Amino acid sequence: MKFCSNCGESVVIKIPAGDTRERAVCDTCDIVHYQNPRIVAGVLPTWGDQVLLCRRAIEPRRGYWTLPAGFLENGETVAEGAARETMEEANARLQALTLYSVFSLPHLSQVYMFYRAELADLDFSSGEESLEVALFNEPDIPWEELAFPTITQTLQQFFTDRKSATFTVFDTDLHYKRR
């Protein structure tokens, strides 16, 4: 941030009074422009024993398989955002959304939140951001072609938890370099 989004004047990078971190401050408007982490809301959609995955049509990781997920929008609940992303990427409707995994990715200033949910029906198809959408049984999951570590870990945990029919929310930190 170089300019104040309220008045267009240059901002100053400094630690405001009573604060401990450098911020972009507009001395004209007397406004501190905070920047905060963003939430990525996603879903692990199931149909019986199968899991729905989408093959990405966009960068990053075009061509790799993912769970439907994307940035939460203002005015949405996390579950609403997760359901919207599933509609956008897979034209799929869900029922019974339950929070399942939370990942802090501090190097990206992102927090991923995945829900488990059942597909309402089999009427799904590729959205604009997907090359392909398909249901997979556990032995057929393309583990080497998954797009992100959050996807891999959520699926691994799901298949482990499913064996014991005990699903609890897991909260994990992932520290890795930007690709």
Shortest distance, position 167 Cβ to its own copies, whole Å: 10
Q: Which is nearer to its own copies, 134 or 161 (CB)?
A: 161
Chain residues 83-122 in contact with its own copies, contact rule CB under 8 A: 98-99, 102, 104, 106-107, 109, 111, 113
Rounded to whole angstroms, the Cα distance separating 49 from 150 reads: 21
Q: Does 168 bind its own copies (CB under 8 A)?
A: yes
42-81: contacts with its own copies (CB under 8 A): 71-80
Q: Is 171 in the site for its own copies (CB under 8 A)?
A: yes
**Residues 57, 42: Cα–Cα separation, whole Å:** 17
Residue 144 CA to residue 10 CA, distance in Å, equals 47
Phi, psi angles (nearest 5°) of residue 31: -120, 140
3-class secondary structure, 156: helix
Residue 84, class by beta-carbon neighbours within 10 Å (0-12 exposed, 13-18 middle, 19+ buried)?
A: middle
Nearer to its own copies, 38 or 62 (CB): 38
Binding site for its own copies (CB under 8 A): 1-11, 18, 21, 24, 33-39, 71-80, 98-99, 102, 104, 106-107, 109, 111, 113, 128, 168-169, 171, 173
